[in-house]
């Protein structure tokens, strides 16, 4: 029997798997270009402070879409799954606000038959994604947007013949994921519905996050949506807090959550 060459084997093992390097999962950015959007989630986060001290606190919401175009499908443990795309918007009340312009663009794709985003959950849209880069060198970051120069790219899910103008429905797959909805303190809602909304946005487990300055990797909760809502300026004394207080105390007590802004949202959507 030949003796094991531990030096050689050690070098091979270190080359294959360097255990001094902590790997942190990074979500792949959706490719720029044509996209198939299907609205999956509408989630209100409550009222948060702005990073700009001259701006007043405002109510925030996120819309999360499945990207069901073939170029946005990725390999997972469950097979091919659509990437997701999140829009963060302030809930402006005037026609000039980004929130109202987004709704108008999406509603126009369906002949203005809806009165709220939630009524469009599960509806497909044809659109486009755009990449823009901010910063330089190590600080350069690429952001993915669904608007260009303030104009949203959402359109009806049809291909139009340029000669006959005949419309052909695009082969956009239906939602694969389970829709999630949360409205912050809606008037007239019953306790069971409010609790069902709260439960729908819970995310179990933890994820690894690397501190960019220290390179230290720590585990944080995946339950970012509920945690963000619990940080909102109107959480204390709210109906949602009163109804979910038992759950809150078991997971992330509101008295230890620091004040936050919308910029604290993680890059990941479901984890």
Tens of pLDDT, residue by residue over 41-89, are 999 999 999 888 888 999 999 999 999 999 999 988 888 999 999 999 9
DSSP at 184: S
3-state secondary structure of 91: coil
Whether residue 194 has pLDDT greater than 80? yes
Q: Scanning the structure block, which residue is given the tokens 């729908």?
A: 200
Contact criterion met (CB below 8 Å) for 140 and 122? no
Residue 53 confidence (pLDDT) = 86
pLDDT average, residue stretch 185-211: 92
Query: Residue 131: which residues within 8 A CB-CB, separation 6 or more?
Result: 29, 32, 142, 143, 144, 145
Tell me the C-alpha distance between 188 and 232, whole Å: 21
Tens of pLDDT, residue by residue over 104-128, are 999 999 999 999 999 999 999 999 9
Helices 239-251 + 191-200 axis angle, to 10? 40
What's the Cα-to-Cα distance from 93 to each of 46, 160, 221, rounded to whole Å? 15, 34, 33
Dihedral angle computed from the Cα positions of residues 116, 119, 122 and 124, in that order, rounded to the nearest 10 degrees? -60
3-state secondary structure of 33: strand
Q: What mean pLDDT, rounded, does the chain reach?
A: 85
Contact criterion met (CB below 8 Å) for 9 and 195? no
Higher-pLDDT residue of 16 and 160 is 160
**In terms of DSSP bridges, do strands 124-134 and 147-148 run parallel, antiparallel, or are they unpaired?**
unpaired
Let me know the angle formed at the C-alpha of 193 by 187 and 198, rounded to the nearest 5 degrees.
Answer: 100
Name the pTM for this structure. Answer: 0.81
3-state secondary structure of 128: strand
- Pull the structure tokens for residue 23: 């790997």
DSSP at 119: G
Tens of pLDDT, residue by residue over 238-264, are 999 999 976 444 444 333 333 333 334
Q: Please state, for a pLDDT cut of 90, what percent of the chain lies above it.
A: 60
């Amino acid at each position: 029997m030949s003796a094991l060459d531990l030096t050689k084997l050690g070098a091979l093992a270190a080359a294959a798997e360097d255990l001094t390097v902590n790997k942190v999962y990074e979500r792949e950015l959706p490719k720029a270009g044509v996209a198939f959007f299907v609205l999956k989630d509408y989630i209100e986060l409550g009222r948060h402070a702005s990073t700009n001290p001259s701006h007043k606190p405002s109510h925030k919401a996120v819309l999360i879409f499945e990207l069901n175009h073939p170029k946005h499908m990725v390999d997972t443990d469950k097979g091919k799954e659509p990437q997701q795309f999140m829009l963060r918007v302030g809930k402006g009340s005037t026609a000039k606000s980004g929130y109202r312009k987004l709704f108008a663009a999406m509603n126009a794709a369906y002949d203005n038959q809806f009165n709220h985003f939630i009524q469009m959950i599960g509806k497909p849209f044809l659109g486009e994604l755009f990449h823009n880069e901010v910063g330089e060198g190590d600080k350069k970051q690429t952001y993915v947007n669904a608007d260009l120069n303030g104009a949203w790219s959402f359109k009806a899910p049809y291909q139009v013949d340029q000669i006959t103008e005949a419309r052909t429905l695009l082969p956009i797959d239906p939602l694969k994921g389970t829709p999630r909805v949360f409205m912050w303190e809606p008037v007239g809602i019953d306790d069971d519905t409010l609790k069902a909304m709260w439960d729908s946005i819970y995310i179990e487990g933890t994820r690894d996050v690397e501190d960019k300055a220290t390179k230290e990797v720590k585990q944080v909760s995946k339950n970012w949506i509920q945690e963000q809502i619990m940080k909102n300026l109107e959480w204390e004394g709210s109906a949602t807090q009163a109804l979910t207080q038992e759950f809150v105390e078991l997971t992330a007590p509101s008295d230890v959550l620091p004040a936050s802004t919308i910029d604290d949202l993680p890059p990941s959507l479901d984890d």
